[in-house]
Amino acid sequence: MSGMGTRDEVLISTLCPLANSEVAEIAADYKAQYGRDLRDEIKGETTGKYEDLMCAIVQPKAYYLAKRLRDALKGAGSDDEIIIAILCTADNELLASIKTEYSKKFGRSLEDDLQSDYTGDLDRLFTMLIQARRDAETTPVDPAQVDADVEAFYKAAKGFGTDETTFMRLLCSRSRKHLAAVAARYPQLKKGKELDDVIKSEFKGKLEDALRYLLIGSIRMGKMVAKLIRHAIKGVGTNDELLIVAVAMHHDTSAMRDAIIEYEEKYGKSMAAAIKGDTTGNFEAALLSCCHLA
């Protein structure tokens, strides 16, 4: 990266398609050979949202997401969309690593900071999530427990008032595989009603968003990633921060490849066309490469 400026095409094609662990190996080799930090080098040679994305993907994922959570929590008001996108799509291992990195980097407790910024149901939901105690995905799905949870969700939404605790407890504690089975079984036992529609009818605002993210991500994470990207780029102006978080968090997972298909099926437009329509230059090129669309 020294000399006559950065060759952005080479930088993008080399780093963006790689898994976070592979980039970490390159960063370690770079420091060993040149005595410099790869992220610092990139930061000095790039600008704007392109810089933000490239710096995001060369950092360890948990470390990067911990920093984004801190940015979202500090100052006047919290960035709910970033917080929900991270906490509601991370698995147990990633959540535990984020908590550790947050404490190491900032000398603070993520749980305490969330509780100082949120009250009520969102506070409880976030506290449940960051315990990282969801059932292991290796746990076999028990059909009897699936039916029991269908009934629990149904009773929690029945009548006057909603039992929010039951929704939060089940969505935060059951494995994604189990919740996918519950979502598939729900309309079979409850006259064609979809569990996602129940959440939409019973909850509003950011709590609705968070619960739906948890459910949709359990049914199919690729669908959730497509939804995140769509949410970031639809309407007037692009939410670049949310777009970068979604891509940096999921670009090296199978969910991103699934999201490409889900996006076109759901929104009638290719993800590549959507990104090209809302971004430009090296930022656009890096996004396309990260999403395996280049």
Residue 118's pLDDT is 93
Report the predicted TM-score, pTM, of the whole model to 2 decimal places: 0.94
Distances (CA, A) of 6 to 3, 33, 51, 74, 288: 8, 18, 12, 33, 19
Q: State the chain's maximal CA–CA distance in angstroms.
A: 70
Question: How far apart are alpha carbons 58 and 60 in whole angstroms?
Answer: 7
Q: By percentage, how much of the chain surpasses pLDDT 70? A: 96
Digit-coded pLDDT (tens) for 7-29:
899 999 999 999 999 999 999 99
Digit-coded pLDDT (tens) for 29-58:
999 999 999 999 999 999 999 999 999 999
Distances (CA, A) of 161 to 118, 129, 153: 22, 23, 13
Whose tokens are 């999921």? That residue is: 250
Residue 205 falls in which region: left (phi positive, over 0), alpha (psi -120 to 50) or beta:
left
Mean pLDDT of the chain: 94
235-244, 266-275, 284-293: least confidently modelled range = 235-244
Phi and psi of 6, rounded to 5°? Answer: -80, 135
Query: In 3-state terms, what secondary structure has residue 101?
Result: helix
pLDDT band at 162 (very low <50, low <70, confident <90, very high): confident
Question: How far apart are alpha carbons 224 and 255 in whole angstroms?
Answer: 8
pLDDT band at 74 (very low <50, low <70, confident <90, very high): confident
Count CB neighbours of 258 within 10 A: 18
Nearest of 17, 14, 1, 67 to residue 287 by alpha carbon: 17
Distances (CA, A) of 95 to 76, 127, 130, 132, 181: 25, 12, 6, 6, 23
Residues in contact with 48: Cβ distance below 8 Å, sequence separation at least 6, in sequence order? 283
Q: What is the mean pLDDT of residues 234-238?
A: 75
Query: In 3-state terms, what secondary structure has residue 154?
Result: helix
Distances (CA, A) of 11 to 38, 50, 90, 258: 11, 11, 28, 25
Question: How far apart are alpha carbons 266 and 264 in whole angstroms?
Answer: 6
| DSSP label of 270 | -
Digit-coded pLDDT (tens) for 108-124:
999 999 999 998 999 99
pLDDT band at 3 (very low <50, low <70, confident <90, very high): very low
Nearest of 203, 135, 193 to residue 163 by alpha carbon: 203
The Cβ-side half-sphere exposure at 155, using a 13 Å CA radius, reads: 9
* Alpha helix ranges (H) inside the chain: 8-15, 20-34, 38-45, 48-57, 61-73, 80-87, 92-106, 110-117, 120-129, 143-157, 164-173, 176-189, 195-202, 205-219, 221-233, 240-250, 254-267, 271-278, 281-290
